[in-house]
Structure 1
Amino acid sequence: MFRYIVITASACYGYQDQGVMIAAANQDLWQGGAVCGKYFQVTCTGALNQGVPHPCTSTPTVTVMITDFCPPPGCKGNLDLSHEAFSTIADPSAGGVKISYQQYAIQYVFFKFCFDTFYWRVAGC
């Protein structure tokens, strides 16, 4: 279960802008802040209450980055999503929905460009 939150200074990045597809982790996921910057794929799986019986959107999955901590007892679920992330997967009027989630590995590919001329050579090539 999760709900969306209004973003203020985050536990991971302070006031640095990390975009809008972000979330806060509960104490079980937090791991002393080790989860900061990790990506999670979150999928809406169904209604949490009777108010909105079919809250999931036609695009029920979103990838979010963990930027904050959601401490107990205020944290009612595993993840608190930003309004933008929540409204991508569910009707915001639902307030909270059932979810499944998994850590999402982002792979980075780095390229090394080397220049070689008669006059100079880039170090490390």
Structure 2
Amino acid sequence: MVNNIRVLMMVVSMAICLTSVANATLGTATFYTPPYVPSSCYGYQNNGSMIAAASDVIWGNRAACGRSYNVSCIGATNKGVPPCRGTSVVVKIVDYCPAGCQGTINLSQEAFSAIANPNAGKIIIEYIEV
């Protein structure tokens, strides 16, 4: 009986992990540098440095304002040294990255640096709303 419960707990744990991975969306990220105000969502309100600007992919006519995303670097968009640091970061959408934006999410320099080497410039990411 105890072994059956352990097996069941392991199966449930694996299902939860796979569900969270399956819900992640692939995209790209770039970064922008201070000053971070004014922003499209909050004007001159300071929202810290773990912030991002949304491209048209997630902007939704301002619907993305205030949403938080967990963003993970999963690879490089160009050849060279792998940029990923093996961590993720949670960012709040505070701004709009206008047409021609080079990434799905334009992270603050601090957020980008937390997950990847800034010298990469642009990275492949997985992101999920939290």
In the alignment, structure 1 residue 79 sits paired with structure 2 residue 108 = no
- Runs of 5+ unmatched residues, structure 2: 1-27
For the residues of structure 1 that align with 2:129 and 2:47, how far apart are their CA atoms? Answer: 18
For the residues of structure 1 that align with 2:45 and 2:37, how far apart are their CA atoms? Answer: 10
- Runs of 5+ unmatched residues, structure 1: 105-125
Count how many residue pairs are aligned between Structure 1 and Structure 2: 101
User: Cα RMSD over matched residues?
Assistant: 1.0
Q: Does structure 1 conserve the Cα–Cα contact (< 8 Å) formed by 2:40 and 2:96? A: yes
Greater per-residue helix proportion: 2
When normalised by structure 2's length, the TM-score is 0.74
When normalised by structure 1's length, the TM-score is 0.77
Task: Select which of 39, 48, 68 maps to 1:39.
Answer: 68
Deviation at 1:2, TM superposition (A): 1.4
The percent identity for this pair of structures is 46
Deviation at 1:50, TM superposition (A): 1.4
When Rg is computed on C-alpha atoms for both structures, the one with the higher figure is 1
Alignment of 1:11-90 (within 5 A): 11-51=40-80, 53-59=81-87, 61-73=88-100, 75-90=101-116
Q: Does structure 1 conserve the Cα–Cα contact (< 8 Å) formed by 2:73 and 2:86? A: no
For the residues of structure 2 that align with 1:102 and 1:70, how far apart are their CA atoms? Answer: 18
Deviation at 1:58, TM superposition (A): 3.4
Deviation at 1:12, TM superposition (A): 0.2
